[in-house]
Each structure stands twice: as structure tokens, then as C-alpha cells.
Amino acid sequence: MGISWGSLKTVAGFFGAIILTSFGTNASAIAADTVVVRLGLFTESISLAELQKAAKTGKLPGSLQPYAKGLSEEQRRFFLGALGMNIPMNVVTINRLVNTQIGTTILNDFATALARKDKAGVQALRAGLVLGSTAPQGLSILSFIAAYPSKRLEIDLPQAFVVAGSLNTAFWRTQQFMLAIAPQLDPITPQPRTPQVAFPFDPSQPGSAQVKILNLSLNDQKRERKIPVDVYWSTAATPDKPVIIFSHGFGSVRTDLRYLAEHLASHGYVVAALEHPGSNEANTNLALQGKTRIVQPQEFLYRPQDISFVLDELEKLNQMANNPLVGKLATTNAMVVGYSFGGGTALTIAGAELQLEQLKQRCKKNLTSLSLAEGMQCIAEELPENSYQLRDTRIKQAIALNPTTSLIFGKTGLTKVQVPTLVLAGSADKTTPALTEQIVGFDKIPSPKWLAGILGGTHLSVKDPSTTLDQAGQPNTPISGGEVVGEQAADVRKYVKAIALAFAAQMTPEAKNYAVFLTSDYAQFASTPTFPFRLITQIPPNAMAVVKEFVDK
């Protein structure tokens, strides 16, 4: 516990020493020895020694027993388990993470469980985390308390359950991974952003053609599914450009990526944004009224089949006389773009095999530790078979934005993807955490492939602003909220427009002209102070070590 300034500088050599100056010069003299737990209207003081004993014995501290009736058995187990868990990161890594933008965001989340009279909650947390990580056993709740720069640490217990639950998840590992693939973004050792190449034009700017929208109401009689489709097109559309299909996220609508559809259409692409009737906003609203299930397990099969059905219908349209799109729809040379649940759909129709045996075993265990994305995938455990292959050979490329992949594809399902694939991951995504849902899976996808990392990007950052208006005023917690959307995420959408257009162009005679935008140089050039971007085609060894360490646990 008695960490001096000299030893901290020797071990870390970073900003920790500077940050802690506001709390004094002797860490051992100001470390917390008493924790005040607040449970509703009740408060109770607990010594650090009592908590350390509880972690060893597995029994609640005696001073908490009068209030234990307010805790469920699950909360008791969680409380005791949280006391003993640690984050396997050294002081250097912790110090780097808490000094990034996303690290500060996380600390703001953690600060919601603390009560301080001053406004230095984030600074105090940062100090406790850095000093706590120097403990022999590594960073844990106990080592954090022991290093917290105040004699008294007051905790809102219910909120602490939420906070503690986020300490050892893929969220922190994602931040570590992002720093590993983007050393030039490391605040400790910054590197210049000067691009190494010249860029001939700006692919994020709209094309010259005026965009029109054709609204279709399709009916798949065989599956009894009515599928609305918005077809974005312009007079610049030609058959040498792929048809692009959009698959929306869970509980959403076909305008999820309207800005991207309009952008691509202005450059001569035909974009068909469909709505999946079993997992759209309308279905979710019915579920909230108790009129249907939130998602039927068959939806994992129906979604890619929806895309195949729409391609069938577009081919009919392509041959229909007096139709403005006649002869312009390259339905046998298509690209799919999916977001979130739709990202998993995109990978499925691109060849990824649904492998459910391990999923069915995992989803029988404690579900409270699962992310929202993993919980969604567990619905598929009710499907009768253990594997499904739903590839449509007309799909020649795939873009998966914040996709769900961790459970649904098993160990080798993603190795069966047979087309060039671009995966996008946001480091601050709480709904589909990047490490579990995108990064681990990306390593399994065969080349050619690209991984775009958005430092500071949240789950909803890539969505059209018209679909994120409900985020205003949402509370920011370690498991939800804090979404960066609307005008705040304009830089993210600008980059998505650029790389999506460049990726689509790889299926056209203009491929070489756009290839430069699918590079790490362009990602660095397009980066902003708020959103640094990174693009890689292979996970480097130092970052792969982070992935393997996580997977092996």
C-alpha cells in the first residue's frame, strides 16, 4: 500500500505522478482505510481489513449483516466475487488506458458509484487505479481501495454492483487492443499524423448525381413475410457497379444507414435497404406490449433469407420494361452492408456458418455475465440444428459495422466467409464490445479483409442521426448510454462514407483509384482529435497477444 512517488515514477514513468500531486506527496498517508457503503437511506462504515477478510472467507463483513436483507443472493455472491477479482494488466498499461479519451469516459462511469464533496472523482479514480495496479496481485477492488487518495471512500452499493461488473470485461481489453494496433494514438508516445501518400480526391464528398428513392413493398408468400424496401438510386447507376443491400440492426428500421445509402447512390450505386419484419422496430414495440416474442430464434435464418429474396425480386425488376432501373441492377454481383445484428446477418450470407453447439452449452450457464450482444445470440439456442449454411453466392463483398459474432459462429464458422470483408469496431461500444464481437472474429475471417477501428466510437455512432434522437438525456452507465451520436459523431459517419465507397469501388473498373483509401495512411489522415481512426488488414503480433490472452481466459 505504501507506494512512494519515487517508486511510482520508476515503475510507470508517465503521467500518474503528475495527476496525483493534487492529493499530496505521500500515497500511503492518504490511502483509504475506511469504506462507507450507502444502501438506500442506510450507510455503514467498513474497514479495509474487514473487506480483505471477506474476500478470503467468502462471508459478508459483520458490519453489513444488518443490511444484508436488502441484497439478493445473487448480489451477495457478486459482491464477494468482485472483491476477489483482478484485472490482469500491469501499471504501464493501466496508466496508458486511463489517460486516453475513452479511459476518461470509463472513469466518468465509475465515478457514478462514488460520493465526493469535491469534483475530483475522476482524478481520484485515476490515481487509485494506477497505484492499485502496482500491488503484487495486480489491480483489484481491494488494491484500488488501498490506493485511493482519500482516508474515506464512500460507495453507492447498488451502483457499485454495476461498476464492478464492468471492471473485468472485454471493454477494458478493447482499449488495450486499440492502443496496440494504433501506437501513434498512444498519448504517451505520440507520433506525427503527416500522411505518407497523397490522396487524389475526397471520397466522403457526395457524387454529382441526384438521389431518388423507389419504395417497394415485397411479399414473400412462402415464408409469409412482408418486406418493405427503400431503393436508393440515381441516373448515374450502371450495371458495372454492384447492387448494395443494407441489413439493419435489432429493433431498428431500414433507415439505419440512410446517409450512407444516399452517399453511395450519389456515386452511381443502387442501394436496397430492407426491413426485417421479425426483428425491426415494429416487432419490438409489439413485444413490449406482450403481443409477440422480442425475437424468434428463426430470425437468425430468416434475415439472410430476406436478403436472398430481395435479390430475387430486384432481378425481376431489372427485367421489367418501363422501369427506370431496367438493365442497371447487377444482382449477381452484389455487396451487403450490415449493422449490429445486421452485421452478423451480412457475415452469414457472405458464407459464415452458424455453429450452435458451443452456443447452446454457453447459454445454459450464468447469463448475467453476458453482454447485450451475447444475450441476443443466445436466442439461437432454440434452433433445432447445430449448424446452418446460408451463403448466397451473389454476394461478392461484405461490410459488417459493429457486428455480433462472439457466439453464433462457434469456433470456425467465420473461417468459411468466402468474400472480401470489411469489419468496423468502435472502442467505446458497450452493446457489442469490440474485442469479443468484432476483433476475435476478425482474426478468423480469411483474407482479403480490413478492420476499421474507431477510437471513441460507440455502438450508435455510425447510425443515421434521424434514428438516434431518443438518446438525448439517456443516463450513461458502464453497460449502456453514453452514446456519441448526431452531430457529435459526424466525423465517424464521414469516415464510414469514405471507406464504404472505396470498398464498393473495388468491384468496379475504378478499383485502383479508390484502393488508397483502404489504407492505414488514409485512416490516420482522416482521423480527428475526437475520433482517431485505424485500419489494418492483419492483427499485429503485439495486439494479437491481447486477443489470445483474453480468449485463453
Helix (H) or strand (E) holding 496: helix 490-504
C-alpha cell at 37: 457503503
pLDDT in tens, 175-225: 667 777 765 444 433 444 555 678 999 999 999 999 999 999 999 999 999
User: How many angstroms separate the Cα of 399 from the Cα of each of 15, 316, 332, 335, 395?
Assistant: 39, 25, 17, 8, 11
Q: How far apart are the C-alpha atoms of 326 and 47, rounded to whole Å?
A: 76
Q: How far apart are the C-alpha atoms of 16 and 142, rounded to whole Å?
A: 19
Higher pLDDT residue, 245 or 470?
A: 245
- The confidence score (pLDDT) of residue 18 equals 20
Q: Say which range, 29-38, 196-205, 326-335, has the weakest mean pLDDT.
A: 29-38
HSE-up of 154 (CA within 13 Å, CB side)?
9
Kind of pairing between the strands at 225-233 and 212-220? antiparallel
**Chain CA centroid to CA 80, Å:** 29
Is pLDDT of 20 > 50? no
Could you tell me which residues come within 8 angstroms of residue 126 by beta carbon, excluding any fewer than 6 positions away? 16, 19, 98, 99, 107
pLDDT in tens, 241-271: 999 999 999 999 999 999 999 999 999 999 9
C-alpha cell at 448: 482479403
Could you tell me which residues come within 8 angstroms of residue 59 by beta carbon, excluding any fewer than 6 positions away? 80
| Structural domains of the chain sorted by starting position, each given as residue range(s) with its CATH number in brackets | 5-168 (no CATH), 212-551 (3.40.50.1820)
What number is the average pLDDT over the span 464-477? 81
Tell me the sheet residues that pair with 424: 401, 452
Neighbours of 342 (CB within 10 A): 30
Helix (H) or strand (E) holding 245: strand 242-247
Neighbours of 217 (CB within 10 A): 8
Specify the DSSP class assigned to residue 211: P
Higher pLDDT residue, 337 or 174?
A: 337
Contact of 19 with 126, CB cutoff 8 Å: yes
Amino acid at 220: D
Neighbours of 369 (CB within 10 A): 11
pLDDT in tens, 279-300: 999 998 888 788 888 889 999 9
Tell me the sheet residues that pair with 338: 247, 400
- The confidence score (pLDDT) of residue 190 equals 41
Maximum CA pair distance of the chain?
A: 84
Q: Say which range, 35-44, 267-276, 447-456, 462-471, has the weakest mean pLDDT.
A: 35-44
DSSP for 136-180, written as a single string: TT-EEHHHHHHH-BSSEEEEEHHHHHHHHHTTTSHHHHHHHHHHH
The angle formed by the CA atoms of residues 494, 183 and 501, to the nearest 5 degrees, is 25
- The confidence score (pLDDT) of residue 15 equals 22
What number is the average pLDDT over the span 20-48? 57
Contact of 444 with 412, CB cutoff 8 Å: yes
Long-range contacts of 117-125 (CB under 8 A, 24+ apart): 120/22, 123/19, 123/22, 123/23, 124/23, 124/148, 124/149, 124/150, 125/98
Q: Say which range, 53-67, 258-272, 531-545, has the weakest mean pLDDT.
A: 53-67
Could you tell me which residues come within 8 angstroms of residue 396 by beta carbon, excluding any fewer than 6 positions away? 242, 333, 334, 335, 419, 420, 507
Burial of 6 (0-12, 13-18, 19+ CB in 10 A): exposed
CA dihedral 134, 136, 137, 141 (to 10 degrees): -50
Contact of 422 with 399, CB cutoff 8 Å: yes
Is pLDDT of 127 > 70? yes
- The confidence score (pLDDT) of residue 500 equals 98
CA quadruple 481, 487, 489, 493: dihedral sign:
positive
C-alpha cell at 481: 448510454
